[in-house]
A and B are shown apart, each in its own frame.
Chain A
Amino acid sequence: MPTIILDFFRAVWRGPFGPIGLVILGLCLALAIFGPAIAPYDPVARNYDAAGKLLRLAPPSWQHWLGTTLLGRDVLSQMLVGARPALLVGGLTALGTVVIGVNIGLIAGYFGGRIDSFLMRLTDMFLGLPFLPFIIIVLSLTGRSLTTMVIAMTLVMWRSTARVVRAQVLSLREMPFVAAAHITGASDLAIIYREIAPNIMPIALVSIAFALAWAIITEASIGFLGFGDPSVVSWGSIVYDAYASQMMYRAPWWVVPPGIAIMVLVSAVYFVGRAYEQVVNPRLRTG
């Protein structure tokens, strides 16, 4: 396991975009951990000026670098706090997606036959499920929380990973080392998880990256549509507050930063994912 992580960094470090992505990801991770600690204000507290007047839609100033919201809340503090839900929801969803997707792909691809056609039919069914509408329905019926969001997103996202992994397993299954394992009397489970699974890891890592990117954008979109956890300040919910207040077009400082933050974070994930994919998937290597 550690070698694959090491290989991962070595591979990503080669391209021009990979290192940039890694550095940005590292910064965002630090923000997710320390953001709430370094936020200058309470992100949901109302701020008043020296005369005791509420700072409604105050433009950026030395006190409030990114200005304030309609309710006089500090935008910079909200931005710093908002990194955590983005990475938490994104990370957990990506992890869940890959765990389910890899296992289903491994089992379907290895056993083939009825098991395969049943699992693939299931996958196709999920492939037809409208992504965002489904998550919104689930959230509105079961309550808006980060946990429900992660579960609902994982439920729809494993489908693509399962397909990719299965295709890979189908060709790995015919390899001599699998036949050799059979002859030594290894059980099916042992072959799947000891012989085949390690060869799937690179693809699993690529899929984690793409799932992460997709999950972060989806988390933001859900927040923007007003279905996020009401007690959590996220980058998406900042935009939602601005949108719902109808004041967004009078206060660009309120709307522009969260979008840029999401864009930079997701781009970084894509850069890392694609740089690694270049190395892992020989078809993408250009001569």
Chain B
Amino acid sequence: MVGYLLHRFWHMVLTLFAMATLMFFLFRLLPGDPTATVISPSLYPKAQEAMRQQFGLDRPLFEQYLLYLRNLCVLDFGFSFQTNRPVFEMIQGRLLNTILLILPSMLAAYLLGAIIGAVAAWRRGGTTEVGLVFTATALQSAPLFWLGMLAILLFSIKLDLFPIGHIVTPGAFPEQDWRMYLSADFLHHLALPFLVNTLYQLCFPLLLMRSTMLSTIGEDYIELARMKGLSERRVLFGHAARNALLPLATTLPMILGWAVAGSVVIETVFSWPGLGLLMIEAISRADYPVAQAAFLLIAVLTVLGTFIADLLYGLLDPRIVYA
């Protein structure tokens, strides 16, 4: 087990290393001056020259690459073109905002999805099941950004129940410290993006729960439970659902990682100051150091999700043997 864990961990480090490398070369493949991704073209030529020397950009590419890796290891992402502040400082708060939006919403989505999916399996063959499957498929097929816009149109503009976007009322917390996250204002702003994301994300666990439960119906232990004379409800919720929860739980970390990657969309619609929105803003302002760092951080979260999913899969299913 420990061996497997180490193996997977090493694997994860390798993956991250490969991604950092990919980013290094991708950003230097840019048409035009490759140093434009590190030094703001808006600076005076002399200042640009000085920075080029300071950052070692006049050295060969390979040396630059080593320097880049070293800087990543000590979390030095350089300076933003836009604000001239260290990128790391800008990213910290954004990371927390993304996690606060995505994590509770995904947990809620999985919980609700599992329950509704079990109900759909219980009512198999009936109109409830058809209705649930149809609705979940339609919701899953709708673009998330569009669902968000419809929700704003309906709940914020027409009914005036929620604010249109942002994390708190602009100017309410000039210091942006921890008190912001404990305020009712924050929860009020979180509510709508949370609801939309949860509604959208619960379709996958719902459909998976239903199909896994339906596929266990032919298994021996279900047959046995039936023969014991248990009611259909006890058979399904006590036996089939419990076993179906296992494959469902193993998908959570990975889907969570993907949801972080997909947060660009929901954050854009709701002007939620998270990592995804930061990346989009940075790209549109050609603030490459920030864009690159935001991407790498999102990648770390996604890879971490896959890693945990793998471990969980092994932990929860005793049939898996670690080779």
The smallest beta-carbon distance between A285 and chain B, in angstroms, is: 8
> A130-B302, A136-B283, A137-B295 known; A16 and B130 CB under 8 Å?
yes
Chain A residues with Cβ under 8 A from B47's Cβ? Answer: none
Give the residue of B15, B26, B157, B298 whose beta carbon is less than 8 angstroms from that of A249: B157
- Give the contact stretch, choosing among B104-112, B228-236, B259-267: B259-267
Question: A109 an interface residue at 8 Å Cβ cutoff?
Answer: no
Which among A137, A255, A269 has the greatest number of chain B C-beta atoms within 10 A?
A: A137
- Contact between A133 and B124, CB atoms less than 8 A apart: no
Interchain CA distance A141-B27 in the complex, whole Å: 7
Proximity bits, B15-58, A CB within 8 Å = 1, else 0? 11011000100110111000000000000000000000000000
Instruction: Identify A129's interface contact among B124, B150, B299, CB under 8 A.
Output: B299
Residue B142 at the chain A interface, CB threshold 8 Å: yes
Bound CA–CA A267/B298 (angstroms): 29
Residue A53 interfacial (CB < 8 Å): no
Does A270 lie at the interface of the complex (its beta carbon under 8 Å from any beta carbon of B)? yes
A191 CB within 8 Å of chain B: no
Interface residue A243 (Cβ < 8 Å from any Cβ of B): yes
Which one of A41-49, A172-180, A194-202, A220-228 is at the interface? A220-228
Residues on A with C-beta less than 8 A from B18 are: 125
Known: A130-B298, A131-B258, A141-B27. A263 touches B150 (CB 8 A): no
Bound complex: CA A140 to CA B26 (Å)? 11
Residue of B nearest to A130 (CB): B261
- Enumerate B110-144 residues with CB–CB distance to A below 8 Å: 124, 130, 134, 137-138, 140-144
Query: B68 at interface (Cβ–Cβ under 8 A)?
Result: no
Whether A129 and B141, one on each chain, are in contact in the complex, defined by CB atoms closer than 8 angstroms, is: no
**Complex Cα distance A252/B152, Å?**
11
Beta-carbon contact of B261 and A141 below 8 Å: no
Q: Which residue of B lies closest to A286 (CB)?
A: B214
Closest to B282 in A: A140
**Other-chain residue from A125, A248, A271, A286 in contact with B137 (beta carbon distance below 8 A):** A271
Are A127 and B215 in contact (CB-based, < 8 A)?
no
- Complex Cα–Cα for A269 and B19 (A): 32
Contact B295 A125 (CB under 8 A): no
Cβ contact within 8 Å between A138 and B276: no
Chain A residues with Cβ below 8 Å from B260 are 130
State the Cβ distance, B290 to closest chain A Cβ, in Å: 12
**Chain A contacts for B306, CB-based, 8 A:** 124, 127-128
Residue of A nearest to B268 (CB): A225
The answer on a CB contact under 8 Å between B217 and A287 is: yes
Interface residues in A199-228 (C-beta closer than 8 Å to B): 213, 217, 220-221, 224-226
**Which residues of the other chain, A, contact B258 by a CB distance below 8 angstroms?**
130-131
Contacts of B280 in A (CB 8 A): 136, 225
A256 is an interface residue with CB less than 8 A from chain B: yes
Chain B residues, CB < 8 A from A133? 261, 264, 276, 279, 294-295, 298-299
Q: Convert A111-152 into 0s and 1s, putting 1 for each residue whose CB lies closer than 8 angstroms to a CB of B.
A: 000000000010011011111111011101111000000000
The one of B30, B130, B218, B265 in contact with A225, judged by C-beta atoms closer than 8 angstroms, is B265
| Residue B188 CB within 8 A of the other chain | no
> How many residues from A make CB contacts under 8 Å with B?
51
Given A221-B145, A249-B152, A286-B214: A130 and B299 within 8 A (CB)? yes
- Chain B residues within 8 Å of A124, by CB: 11, 15, 306
Residues of B within 8 A of A18 (CB): none
* A249 near B138: Cβ-Cβ < 8 Å: no
| CB 8 Å contact bits of A223-241 with B (1 = contact, 0 = none) | 0111000000000100100
| A258 contacts B29, C-beta separation under 8 Å | no
Question: Taking the nearest CB of chain B, how far is it from the CB of A145, in angstroms?
Answer: 13
Tell me if B145 and A224 are in contact (CB < 8 A). Answer: yes
Find chain B residues with CB under 8 A from A142 CB. Answer: 29
Specify which chain B residues have a CB less than 8 angstroms from the CB of A243 in the assembled complex: 145, 149, 269
Instruction: Collect the chain A residues with CB atoms within 8 Å of residue B153's CB.
Output: 248-249, 252, 255
Residues in chain B near residue A60, CB distance under 8 A: none
Q: How far is the CA of A274 from the CA of B211 in the complex (A)?
A: 11
Q: Which residues 267-288 of B have a CB within 8 angstroms of A?
A: 268-269, 276, 279-280, 283-284
25 contacts across the A-B interface (CB closer than 8 A): A124-B306, A125-B14, A128-B16, A129-B19, A130-B257, A130-B260, A131-B261, A132-B264, A133-B261, A133-B279, A133-B294, A134-B295, A141-B27, A217-B141, A221-B144, A224-B265, A225-B264, A236-B143, A249-B157, A258-B146, A262-B141, A263-B141, A263-B142, A266-B142, A286-B215
Q: A128-B299, A266-B141 given; name 18 further pairs at CB < 8 Å.
A: A125-B18, A128-B12, A130-B302, A131-B258, A132-B261, A136-B280, A143-B31, A217-B143, A221-B145, A224-B146, A239-B146, A249-B152, A259-B146, A259-B150, A267-B138, A267-B141, A284-B215, A286-B214
A-contacting residues of B (Cβ < 8 Å)?
Answer: 11-12, 14-16, 18-19, 23, 26-27, 29-31, 124, 130, 134, 137-138, 140-147, 149-150, 152-153, 157, 211, 214-215, 217-218, 257-258, 260-262, 264-265, 268-269, 276, 279-280, 283-284, 291, 294-295, 298-299, 302-303, 306
Binding site for B on A (CB under 8 A): 16-17, 121, 124-125, 127-134, 136-138, 140-143, 213, 217, 220-221, 224-226, 236, 239, 243, 248-249, 252, 255-256, 258-259, 262-267, 269-271, 274, 283-284, 286-287
Minimum-distance CB pairs A-B, first 9: A130-B261, A259-B146, A266-B141, A128-B303, A267-B141, A263-B142, A130-B298, A286-B214, A130-B302
